Amino acid sequence: MESSGDIGTLAARFGLAAHVLRHWESMGLLHPVRDAGGRRRYGADDLTRVAAILRDKEAGLGLDTIRSLSASVERATRHEILRAEAEEPRSRRAAARASLELIEGCLHCEYEDVTQCPNYRRLIAAEQVGSRVPAHGRA
């Protein structure tokens, strides 16, 4: 494996602190080779792995999930893990759509008092029927 550098070089390449790479190694996410002096040497596979970890984290996956996915070679196991992980972003997406619909409705409302707007009232009523009570509305 062609060496791409030491921990500082790899960390700098991705804008990370070296301790982040050490932590990922301690979790089993990275497996750098060691030189004769015991220093970590990172190769092309490590570069790809760090980029994948960062992308997975950006997608909202936690390090434990990323580790589980990297350890799983079976498609069915991988799909089971990802199906469970997909629920959170789906829920956030639905909440964001509802919020955007309410905000856009208020922006287009002709009423001085938006709470008197029939469209606003319809949206609020729909939330109540769906038993989605906003966190700020709970006691």
- Beta carbons within 8 Å of 65's beta carbon, 6+ residues apart: 56, 81, 85
Q: Please give the radius of gyration of the chain, using alpha carbons only, rounded to the nearest integer.
A: 24
- Is pLDDT at 63 greater than 90 in this prediction? yes
d(CA 89, CA 45): 29
Contact between 78 and 69 (Cβ < 8 Å) = yes
Kindly give the residue spans of alpha helices, DSSP state H, lying in 15-117.
18-26, 44-58, 63-71, 75-107
The arrangement of secondary structure in 3-71, i.e. its CATH architecture, is: Orthogonal Bundle (1.10)
Residue 134 has pLDDT above 90, yes or no: no
What is the pLDDT at residue 106?
87
Predicted TM-score (pTM) of this structure: 0.67
Mean per-residue pLDDT of the chain: 87
